Structures are given as C-alpha cells and as structure tokens.
Amino acid sequence: DIVMTQSPDSLAVSLGERATINCKSSQSVLYSSNNKNYLAWYQQKPGQPPKLLISWASTRESGVSDRLSGSGSGTDFTLTISSLQAEDVALYYCQQYYSTPRTFGQGTKVEIK
Amino acid sequence: EVQLAESGGGLVQPGGSLRLSCAGSGLSFRSYWMHWVRQAPGKGLVWVSYINSDGTTTRYADSVKGRFTISIDNAKNTLFLQMNSLRAEDTAVYYCIRAADSGPYDIWGQGTMVTVSS
C-alpha cells in the first residue's frame, strides 16, 4: 500500500497570510504513460463530507477559490492557500488514486492564529 | 441537483449485520466506479471498497474482506454495502462516493453513521 504522510498535523496562520501543507507518498504516483500525478486534495469542514479541491496534483476544481493551489510531482506535493480567509478553516487531506487501496494522508488542521 | 444519499446506518451489536444504501439523483452510475470510504469518530478517511459500473469488478480493504459485500443496481441508480460480522472497529461514518475510473472522488454523499456496540 502507498503510505501518504502530511505535514504539519496542524497549523495556525493569521488572516491574509500564506498556509502551506505538504504531502509525501511512499512511492511515486506519477504515471509515466500520461505524465499525470494521481494526487488529489480535499477539504473537510465539521459535520460535512470532504470536498474535492484539486485533482491531478494541480488542477483546481470548478468553483474552488484561486487562492488555493496545488503543486508537486512524483512523491512530494504541496497545497498552498495564498491568503488565508476565515472560510478556509478546515481539515485538509491529500489522497493518491494511483493504486488500490486509495490511501489518504492523516489530515492537516488549518486554524486562524 | 447532483447528489448521493446514504441510508441504513444505525446502532448494531457486535456480530450483527447492516445493509447500507446509496441513492444517486441527478447523475448516473454508468461509466463510473462507486466507492465506500469510512471515517471513525475524530479520525481520518479510510477506503473500504469499490465496484465498477457494471458490477463485474469489486475490491475490498483487508480489514473488511470476507465480511462486507458491495453491489450495485444501475437500473435504480443505487449502491449497496452489506456488512456482516460487525466489530466495534467498524464504527464510523460511511460515505458513498463516485469516481471516474482511475479518477479522484468528485461526488460524495453526506454519510451515514454506523455504531457497533453492545
């Protein structure tokens, strides 16, 4: 199984400041035949299901704020919130869908400082 | 509106059974793979099972293999998870999810809570 490790487990950022979440996979999730990274980011708020934010490591879903961006390739990925707003307070998960079982990171809690 | 709606959760004793359902509206299961993912209280997300669009391919997490069975009724746009020999560690919110083959989880249900306790 591919192990996904996020860092940090939690972070507190001032409103308007940048938040950065890292995700590392135990093996590459880059599929060489199509040069795509099978890596997604989800946001979960209390009492709600997760919501897909970014797929293929860097493709923002329709309706997702352009303050959120994904980057990285192979085994190292980053979710960046460029200017933290109150509505960004949530848990964030990375997930690989390169192989079964599809595994998630342990989650990163983002709060306002 | 595109949505998935789970039902069938509840309180069950260890060793008991439950059958979860997931009804899709505003969308079709055809050409998609349907997954179940669970989240224990205060914990992270764990993949449980998937089934392909015609029901010919299924996979299970090792922790539920032999106890859970996933199935699909495309005519009724409904996904099922039959859960037998339930254990305390199966206690979780169970989410029904749609994904394109080898794609991310783009549509999630609201989840249904399963509690296994005596």
Q: For residue range A63-106, what is the model confidence (pLDDT) as tens digits?
A: 999 999 999 999 999 999 999 999 999 999 999 999 999 999 99
CB atoms within 10 A of CB A64: 16
Q: For residue range B24-80, what is the model confidence (pLDDT) as tens digits?
A: 999 888 889 999 999 999 999 999 999 998 899 999 999 999 999 999 998 899 999
Q: B5 in helix, strand or coil?
A: strand
Q: Name the closest residue on chain A to residue B44, using Cα atoms.
A: A106
**pLDDT at residue B118 tops 90:** yes
> CA of B49 to nearest chain A CA: how many angstroms apart?
9
Mean pLDDT of chain A: 97
Phi, psi angle pair for A105, to nearest 5°: -70, 170
DSSP string, chain A: ---EEEE-SEEEE-TTS-EEEEEEESS--EETTTTEE-EEEEEE-TTS--EEEEETTTEEPTT--TTEEEEEETTEEEEEESS--GGG-EEEEEEE-SSSSPEE---EEEEE-
Stretch 67-106 of chain B: residues touching chain A, C-beta under 8 Å: 95, 99, 102-106
Question: Token pair for residue B67?
Answer: 């106890």
Q: B88 in helix, strand or coil?
A: helix
CA dihedral A21, A102, B4, B43 (to 10 degrees): -60
> CA of A102 to nearest chain B CA: how many angstroms apart?
6
Strands B10-12 and B112-116: parallel
Q: Do B108 and A97 touch (CB under 8 A)?
A: no
Q: Do B47 and A40 touch (CB under 8 A)?
A: no
State residue A109's pLDDT score.
98
Tell me the pLDDT band of A20, cut-offs 50, 70 and 90: very high
Q: For residue range B72-109, what is the model confidence (pLDDT) as tens digits?
A: 998 899 999 999 999 999 999 999 999 988 899 999 99
Give the closest of A38, A50, A56 to B108, CB-based: A50
